Every structure is written in C-alpha cells, then in structure tokens.
Amino acid sequence: MKITDNIWQVGGDGISAPGDAAIYAVAFGGKAALVDAGCGRGHSSVVGAVARSISSAASVQYLFLTHCHYDHTGGAEALRRRYGCTVVAHELDARYLEAGDSEVTAASWYGATIPALPVDHKITGDSETFQLGSGEIRALHCPGHSPGSVVYLTESEGKKVLFGQDIHGPLHPAILSNREDYLISLNMLLQLDADILCEGHYGVFHGQKKIRKFIQSFIH
C-alpha cells in the first residue's frame, strides 16, 4: 500500500500474516529502510511487497525496530539475512531481544519463543538521526509501552510522517510498561504535529486533527 512517493506499508495483519504488526518501507535516493519486522511468519509476503514497492536499485540499509515485542521483531533475523541490513533498536529494549526473553518481548502471548536477536546499532539517548540516501529518519525515545519504545520521524512530500507503532499501548506489568512514562510520551507526540501517522495496529492516519484526536484518546 503506497502512503507517499517514499513510503509504503509492506506487511501487517491481513497483508503478510495474522498477528503481524504493520511493517513499513521507506526509500530515499537509492537507500531504503524497513520499520519493524512482524512475527516472521509472513516473511515471503513481506519480501514480495518490498520488491513491488521500492526500486530494484534501492538497497535496504536499515531495519528500524520500534520496540522489542514479538509482533514487531520476530521476523527481524530473517529480514537481516535477506537484505544484509543493520538492525536498530533502543538499548533499553535491545537487552531483551539479545537475551531471547520471551516474556518481556511478549512472544509467549503468541504461543511462541523468540531466539536471541543481536542488535547491530543501539540507540542510547533520547534521539538520534540517521541518514537514508537523500533523506533523514529521526529516532525519538518514547517509553511507556515498553522501556525502550521508539518512534521514527521523517519528511516526505513536504509532510511530517510519524511511525508511532504502538501509541495505543497496551500497558501491562509483564512487558514492563510504565503508565507515567507513557502519558509523558503521548504528550510529547502531540507536540510533533505530524501530518501522517503510521501506527502498528490501527492503520494510517492523515491530517493533524485526526492524529491529535487518536493520540488524545489514550490520554486518560
């Protein structure tokens, strides 16, 4: 599904495999990145969708993980092997991926176990900017749903695009959620004034008013 000239949805429940969170592809000037990896059960469908979306001349440079949960990360190793891309996650969630922790990553919620996943690049602060061909992608630490949740921000067609995968939560002690951090993060997201929101389970929202209303619906 094309979102802008630079951004496509290439996976998700109903697109790649049941249980997958949304997977997005971003491409600028011959370089591409994926945002999240699904559970991995629909790997061939994701690869096919990537091939249909980005130019065959574009190489997948990064796999940006928004957080450690299985529906976003279970397919990461297969995508790294396929594209030779750099897997990126915040250090606070990377530790649970590298430990193969099936409880904190919620793999057990899906009747699965998650093998240890080495993270190539760990985000260590509140923000980091990555060059992607002729464009940029900015990572912002957004804790609450998980300790190391991250949103990614870029610009396409003059619009601010936010990859905010699990803005909706949920919050649960087994996955180390923190409600105070979550509310602070949601209010931070409101200040971004994004024009397009690519969420992990609720689809794609266009327009600042719709995005603001969606985010505010979880502040209570």
52 close to 24: Cβ distance less than 8 angstroms = no
Of the candidates 145, 166, 205, 171, the one whose C-alpha atom is nearest the C-alpha of residue 35 is: 166
pLDDT of 218: 95
Helix axes 43-53, 76-83, angle to 10 degrees: 50
pLDDT at 56: 81
Instruction: For tokens 């940029």, name the residue.
Output: 136
CA 141 to chain centre: 12
Place of tokens 């260590």: 124
Low-confidence ranges of the chain (pLDDT < 50): none
Cβ atoms 39, 45 nearer than 8 A: no
Task: Dump the DSSP string for 69-99.
Answer: -HHHHTTHHHHHHHH-PEEEEEHHHHHHHHT
pLDDT value for 24: 98
Question: Domains of the chain, with CATH numbers?
Answer: 7-216 (3.60.15.10)
**pLDDT score at 220:** 79
Angle (CA) 168-170-171 rounded to 5° is 125
